[in-house]
Structure 1
Amino acid sequence: MTTTSSAAFGALRAVPEALDTLGAEALSEVARSATVAQNLAAATRLQAAHLLVEAMGRLDREAHGPDPCRQPGDSRPADSRPAYARLDPADRARDHLTAAMSLTGWHAARLVTAGVQIHTRLPLLRKAVERGLLPEQLAIDTACRLAEVPDQIIAAVESEIVGALARDLDGGHRPSRTALDTAVDAARERHDPRAAEDAVGAAVEQRTVRFRPGRDGMTSMWATLPSGAAEKLRRRIEAAARAASEAGHPRTRDQLRADALCALGDPNTNDIGTALHDAENATDPADRADHVGRADSGADCSGHADPADPAAAGSARPRPGASWGTEQPIRISIIDSIAQGLPNRVQFVNGAYSSFDWLCEELLSGGEAKVRFELIDPQPGVLDKPDAVLKYFITPALAERIRLRDGTCRHPGCTVDAHDCEIDHIIAFDHLRPEMGGPTAEWNLICLCRKHHREKTFGHCAYKPGPLGELTIITETGHEHRTTPHGPLAQARDRILDHRWRQHLDRLIADDGHLTNPPGSERNSCHGSIRLSGA
């Protein structure tokens, strides 16, 4: 493999720099050579991922003894650590690759899974990858899908899938991920129908709905649902959008589908069509979003209210917090930037923001909703009190502040929302002598998801804090990875610093290009100003 890879890269280096001088045939060959070299490099990455997992396992065994599942005849003592204190070598390899290759945790996990599968139980796929026949993403997708196939039938399924891939790629066709999934499912069902049924049951356990807020006031949502339930939902949304379109609504079908989906989530509406009509009558786009969907919580799947439900008995007043889908007080955090010359914004932990106009509209539509406003001072350490820093307990206000600052888990590549993370001391709190280190202060606290919290506690990496929430991780391999917070509070601080810097430059550099020193001083002497070159 090394010889082939070197030859491919050598062929690329021999290509003239001026590609625009080459003909179509030569350009096609250059592109093909580059693709083969890229595929071979992918084979090296996959092998490195596999070997990294083995290296992490060796490091762990050297530090704590062999795994309890050691081979018979192994004379070394079993690992005496409890299960929660043991770290999976594959997880540790994933975290290393996340930072080393600037990948998301999801992509790094798939790279590790594919590397291990290809080099331990998929010999045919390994040969194809090492020959440079498969693009990296296709190889990873194939290996991850075949990882779900039981060992009893993996040889037959792999032979069928790899053969089909080779034929398709040889003919210039690259199967999509959907086509690959369909082929694997079909092969699995042919070789073991019962296993296919078990796979369906296991897939149901993976159902999920996720939201990703955007900086434009919009949020992306994606879901993995059982096909039957998803089809019912699709039909209801499609029927409402079709009816609204036929009634003459000028909005696009995509917009109508989105409005119908919003209507399903609003407990104040008992008919999607009425909600779409109300939204059409609203003149302001923000108004439309507020009026779309007034679905009552007692409505059944057809959109009709249940007469036995007191909340759906025709009451004109919505429940407290109804438009927000909660009975709890609505908590609004506002980062105070007015003193710095910048406007305040309604902020949320996950990084989304909105305007006060939107907030007022939502609160008015919420009826008796209880609202708790919290004005957040962006100055670092304002909640660090001398007596509190020597206590292990983290107050709710300080915990919320850390979540607003970090936004997500602070481990490189991890995107777990801060609301789902634990607050951890970077420098461990000293319970016997608190004054000796590990203070409960803003600079020494970070958000870590449960998995990365365990890795910090039981792993071998060193963690160093920074004054504004910076985190430096020094791995056992000697690599350093530095992350900075990206939550709303951190973003507000960045805007404040940028605003101050611009104000400083405005005082430092005059309109005619003179640099005054000190800033803001009069230009009465030859030492008071400097003419910038080119000004």
Structure 2
Amino acid sequence: MSATTTSSAAFGALRAVPEALDTLGAEALSEVARSATLAQNLAAATRLQAAHHLVEAMGRLDEATHDDKVRPRPAFARLDPADRARDHLAAAMSLTGWHAGRLVTAGVQIHTRLPLLRKAVDRGLFPEQLAIDTACRLADIPDEIIAAVESEVIGALCRDLDGGHRPSRTALDTAVDAARERHDPRAAEDAVAEAVERRTVRFRPGRDGMTSMWAHLPSGDAEKLRRRVDAAARAACDSGHPRTRDQLRADALCALGDPNTDDIGTALHDPEDLHRADNTGSAGTDTPPDATRPGASRPGASWGTDKPVRISVIDSIAQGLPNRVQFVNGAYASFDWLCEELLSGGEATVRFELIDPQPGVQDTPDAVLKYFITPALAERIRLRDGTCRHPGCTVDAHDCEIDHVIAFDHLRPELGGPTAEWNLICLCRKHHREKTFGHCAYRPGPLGELTIITETGHEHRTTPHGPLAQARDRILDHRWREHLDRLFADDGHLTNPPGAHRTHPA
């Protein structure tokens, strides 16, 4: 049976289900769930196929543009068809760039290198996420052994799914790595070496004063770190420490970077003792109290960073709202951390910058006709946008380039795109190249809005989400509420003009 016929049957079965599911028995409800799952899996097969064909279409379009006999493009202007397809799908399906990229990779792999996985996906046997995970993992397998590895891995996965068991991502990784090692031990060693090059640590500040940390480390180093953290937490727990095991492990990890605490993050000295020790030494001697601890810094010294702490304060007092403090870098997203830096007596320098939220305050008649973007204006654009402005892209604004939406005319600046706040946006390097050498049209808005019109005629409108844009939204909401308060009388009647006193009938 073809995938189209199976899909039609599945959707037909779903349409035949009565609206009141609570009237069905357990057997019928189970069949409804199975039909819905099959329809969802078949829809995923269609999405993966569309992603593959979209890459091919983008390749043909770029090839035609590159081979134009009248105005041929240089090699550096060529765009990766997979990247272009990813950007289209991110906007069309409201996906992040990461998820859209994996969808494209899976679609291409399934329809060019993985015939067994394609057959299983077309039959609706694989859930979409498992199909994507499998295809992306097999994408790293060399062509010489891909057939053998795919046969082994897909066979095992199909048996598990047929038995009602969905393998976890860890189980999938283990199966792929084991098959790769069996069929090409040397390739497995090369894969380990390549993986080490991708080691990283990332931090994501939260709104509740907490920060999530994600690390991708070599197993040996991660095991050393785990053992050290667990040993400190276990020792504290065995000694009757009141904190939970999870809290102790977190405190032990934080303590690795703070010389003023012990292995579980407890302060080594009472603040009063530190003050006395700074003035009199320790136990009547001339030796500083921390001299016996290797690598220890002066008590109270700053240990977080040696770079200036830059803090932007968005001025909203004139609009009837309190000022909003915005930490420029995510590492400073904690008032406790800031207070510690200010009170520690270290070398940290804190610089406050007052930001006027009024749009265009940095634009001057001379500046808009120059291509150069001043540091102050660049900082405003980054505070406004927050991230790269292409749909689905989450690259931080401070890692982006600032681009003119309407291109700057170097010959006659008065006719080209001005260097003004409304005409500047943050774009990561990839999406900057997409805008420069691609085929989409870009239209700016007065408050940083960006409309992208694709070659297919679709429009995608994005708005900035940085702290400056959020402050402006609050100001606009405040003004609107004030207007409504003046527009309606206490009894709910409309007043004209707004705010006029309405005489109540006797």
TM-score w.r.t. the length of structure 1 is 0.86
Check conservation: 2:65, 2:73, Cα contact below 8 A. no
| Distance change in 2, residues 1:305/1:36 (3 Å) | farther
Offset, 1:174 = 0.4
Offset, 1:354 = 5.7
> Counterpart of 2:62?
60
- Aligned partners of 1:511, 1:352: CA distance in 2, in Å? 47
Q: Name whichever of 205-214 and 114-123 sits farther off.
A: 205-214
> Counterpart of 2:24?
22
Taking only the aligned residue pairs, the percentage that are identical comes to: 84
Q: Secondary structure at the match of 1:196?
A: helix
Query: 64, 80, 84: which one pairs with 1:88?
Result: 80
Offset, 1:121 = 0.8
> Counterpart of 1:532?
none
Offset, 1:385 = 1.2
Deviations 1:288-327 (A, max 9, x none): xxxxxxxxxxxxxxx99885x6xx4x64462xxx34322x
| Distance change in 2, residues 1:222/1:240 (3 Å) | same
Deviations 1:401-436 (A, max 9, x none): 111111111100000111111111111111111111
Offset, 1:476 = 1.1
Query: 238, 241, 246: which one pairs with 2:238?
Result: 246
Query: 468, 471, 478: which one pairs with 2:447?
Result: 468
Query: 135, 138, 145: which one pairs with 1:143?
Result: 135
Q: Which one-letter code corresponds to 1:37 in the other structure?
A: A
- Aligned partners of 2:11, 2:230: CA distance in 1, in Å? 52
> Counterpart of 1:292?
none
Check conservation: 1:270, 1:305, Cα contact below 8 A. no
> Counterpart of 1:387?
366
Offset, 1:367 = 2.1
- Aligned partners of 1:57, 1:346: CA distance in 2, in Å? 46
- Aligned partners of 1:305, 1:35: CA distance in 2, in Å? 65
- Aligned partners of 1:425, 1:102: CA distance in 2, in Å? 25
- Aligned partners of 2:71, 2:127: CA distance in 1, in Å? 41
Deviations 1:275-299 (A, max 9, x none): 32569x89xxxxxxxxxxxxxxxxx
Q: Which one-letter code corresponds to 1:62 in the other structure?
A: A
Deviations 1:444-497 (A, max 9, x none): 111111111111111111111011110011111111111111111111111111
> Counterpart of 2:177?
185
Query: 208, 211, 229: which one pairs with 2:200?
Result: 208
Q: Secondary structure at the match of 2:443?
A: strand
- Aligned partners of 2:169, 2:16: CA distance in 1, in Å? 35
> Counterpart of 1:364?
343
Q: Which one-letter code corresponds to 2:262 in the other structure?
A: D
| Distance change in 2, residues 1:190/1:306 (3 Å) | farther
Q: Which one-letter code corresponds to 2:27 in the other structure?
A: E
- Aligned partners of 2:371, 2:216: CA distance in 1, in Å? 40
- Aligned partners of 2:215, 2:303: CA distance in 1, in Å? 22
> Counterpart of 1:271?
262
> Counterpart of 2:305?
325
Q: Name whichever of 359-368 and 119-128 sits farther off.
A: 359-368
Do structure 1's residue 175 and structure 2's residue 167 form an aligned pair?
yes
Query: 114, 118, 121: which one pairs with 1:126?
Result: 118
Offset, 1:525 = 7.9
Q: Which one-letter code corresponds to 1:276 in the other structure?
A: T
Offset, 1:245 = 2.7
- Aligned partners of 1:10, 1:25: CA distance in 2, in Å? 19
Offset, 1:134 = 0.6
- Aligned partners of 1:433, 1:324: CA distance in 2, in Å? 49
Offset, 1:18 = 0.9
Offset, 1:143 = 0.5
| Distance change in 2, residues 1:198/1:386 (3 Å) | same
| Distance change in 2, residues 1:306/1:156 (3 Å) | farther
| Distance change in 2, residues 1:338/1:77 (3 Å) | closer
- Aligned partners of 1:21, 1:304: CA distance in 2, in Å? 77
Q: Name whichever of 88-97 and 347-356 sits farther off.
A: 347-356
- Aligned partners of 2:218, 2:292: CA distance in 1, in Å? 25
TM-score w.r.t. the length of structure 2 is 0.91
Q: Secondary structure at the match of 2:243?
A: coil
Offset, 1:270 = 6.3
Do structure 1's residue 116 and structure 2's residue 108 form an aligned pair?
yes
Check conservation: 1:215, 1:352, Cα contact below 8 A. no
Ranges in structure 1 where 5+ consecutive residues have no aligned partner? 67-75, 283-302, 527-535
> Counterpart of 1:521?
500
Q: Which one-letter code corresponds to 1:425 in the other structure?
A: H
> Counterpart of 2:274?
none
| Distance change in 2, residues 1:500/1:512 (3 Å) | same
> Counterpart of 1:294?
none
Offset, 1:259 = 2.0
Query: 138, 150, 156: which one pairs with 2:148?
Result: 156
Check conservation: 1:346, 1:354, Cα contact below 8 A. no
Check conservation: 1:333, 1:376, Cα contact below 8 A. yes
- Aligned partners of 1:250, 1:518: CA distance in 2, in Å? 65
- Aligned partners of 2:19, 2:118: CA distance in 1, in Å? 34
Do structure 1's residue 224 and structure 2's residue 216 form an aligned pair?
yes
| Distance change in 2, residues 1:377/1:188 (3 Å) | same
Deviations 1:354-413 (A, max 9, x none): 686763343212523211110111111111111111111111111111111111111000
Q: Which one-letter code corresponds to 2:266 in the other structure?
A: L
Offset, 1:247 = 3.7
Do structure 1's residue 51 and structure 2's residue 53 form an aligned pair?
yes
Q: Secondary structure at the match of 2:369?
A: coil
Q: Which one-letter code corresponds to 1:54 in the other structure?
A: E
- Aligned partners of 1:95, 1:178: CA distance in 2, in Å? 29
Check conservation: 1:351, 1:487, Cα contact below 8 A. no
